[in-house]
Amino acid sequence: MAGDLDVRFRGRTVADPSLVVVRMVSTGDKGMPAEAFESPLTVTFHGAQEIVSASACALRPPDLPIKLRTETNRAIIEPLLLNAEDFIEIQALTAGQAGDVTVDARIADVTPKRRNSLPYPPGSGQEGEMLTFD
């Protein structure tokens, strides 16, 4: 079916499209002020040639003021205050399949960890809860 489907974004055909959703959750018990960030929070979509579109599709709190930009296959979030239980969910449409995704930042006294289990229920409800159509 891949040869029969064309994906277009803003009038441009996207070659080998991939849609990736990444959720980053602050699971610690203390806030991280913007000044604690030595570098921006970077999400790299390995294998993708280009990020066609990236947006924050969910935030907690909903008014979390993020500044998101893209460079080639990376989404970059400028340093910001992240309190305990805050989360940022990024949705990216890429040209080229992202075989792996890494999240990186240099933050004082924080060691980023990739979780093998979710810190929240995996549904599509407001806080990750399962809904009827899940």
Evaluate whether 51 touches 39 at the Cβ level (below 8 Å): no
pLDDT per residue, tens digit, the chain (134 aa), is 556 778 888 988 888 899 999 988 888 888 899 999 999 999 999 999 999 999 998 898 999 999 999 999 999 999 999 999 898 999 999 999 988 999 988 888 877 666 666 655 556 676 666 666 65
Evaluate whether 65 touches 55 at the Cβ level (below 8 Å): no
Structure tokens at 128: 């990750």
Measured CA to CA, the distance from residue 100 to residue 120 in angstroms comes to 22
Domains and CATH numbers, the chain: 14-104 (2.60.40)
